[in-house]
Amino acid sequence: MNSAKIGILGLGTVGCGTINVLARNREEITRRAGREIKVVKASARDLKKARPVAIGGFDLVSDSYEIVRDPQIEVVVELIGGYEPARSLVLEAIAHGKHVVTANKALIAVHGNEIFSAAQKKGVTVAFEAAVAGGIPIIKTIREGFTGNRIEWVAGIVNGTSNFILTEMRDKGRDFADVLAEAQRLGYAEADPTFDVEGIDAAHKLTILAAIAFGIPLQFKQVYTEGITQITRTDVVYAEELGYRIKQLAIARRVNDKVELRVHPTLIPERRIIANVDGVMNAVLVKGDAVGPTLFYGAGAGAEPTASAIVADLVDVVRTLTTDPTNRVPHLAFQPDSIVNLPILPMEEVQTAYYLRLNAEDRPGVLADVTRILGDLGISIEAILQKEPREGEKVVPIIILTHRILEKNMNAAIQRIEALPSIQRHVVRIRLEHLNRDWK
């Protein structure tokens, strides 16, 4: 049987990793796919740049459109990243009847509905395993392994940069800015780290996970997103004292006939396995009604972990080249005519527990004022930790853990507490989730 000919758009770290994995494991991959997968053309902006890959077995071009229009190429691998020109290139590849494999979470999260619709009309496949959690096969697992389940919730650490920063802050007592600078030096964070530290990257990935978990359209703009830039080592230490760890968590949860979509720093009990996922590693918890909670852990980025997912998608696509398009696995797990546009729950209607840190004057009656406000709004307290004031200071830190309550009630409580003359500065609020089996 003739080899399956592919073209790669973007010969950066992941593109080179993909070519290296295909070459090194060629025999195993061919045995699995049923035919050889051969790179015949790749594009790059700088054709003369030295790369950690053998250039010679394929053509290297500067114009990516040359690849998507090449009649011999059956599968296009998009590794350019970002929204444009990636979107235009993918749509043109589809228009030319080519299958697409991509690692571009931003593209899928924002333009996926349009891309999948075009692919369905053309009878081609768009595969995107590498778009979420790098080498962890979480897309395939939810889309195919959990087809017998009603997914109740998904919660994950899906951004290695933020996880590295929070881990270093906890283990070494360092400040956010200091660790961020190191992450940039190590190549974990970009020169502009906004997508990572503000939760945007995690929100892209959560959008995709929610769509395949619940059979809803991709709705990136509906994700509540909060970054880790305001997390201080003080809060990291206090959380640890109370038996919790702070992680940037992406959460998609079905609540009756609505769906929560949120990314934010979250206290998690330190006994939970996911609370012990450190450094740049990723982990995703999935709760199905039949299987219960399941945890998937691994490298969320890197040349070869990501290449592992890309090659897996290539093998799946090659296997289906001769398959009737109507019998293929649907892009978003559910048949296209069965996608349901469930409402996204406004953040104010989300129920969660909270960690609050107040800076209060050290005098009688202050704590009573705070607890009265919480009580008036139906907020019950799970634990209180009052620290000693520093020498010469008259302000004491008070840490409060609450039981679950509506976000709008907590917003109102914080507004009233901050209005008290005895409370200095703003109230620090971090959400808290136990992620146990009974969490519904």
**Residues in CB range of 355: below 8 A, 6 or more apart:** 235, 238, 239, 242, 244, 267, 399, 400, 401, 428, 429, 430, 431, 432
Token pair recorded at residue 105? 């979470």
Q: What is the rounded distance in angstroms from the CA atom of residue 103 to the CA atom of residue 50?
A: 23
Residue 132 · residue 205 · CB < 8 Å: yes
**Residues 417 and 358 sit within 8 Å (Cβ to Cβ):** yes
Nearest CA to 21 out of 44, 45, 54, 47 is that of 54
Q: Give catalytic residue positions.
A: 205
Rounded to whole angstroms, how far apart are CA atoms 205 and 80? 17
Beta strands in 163-291, from DSSP E residues, in sequence order: 224-225, 244-255, 258-269, 281-288
The Cα-based distances of 330 to 27, 337, 342 in angstroms read 29, 10, 19
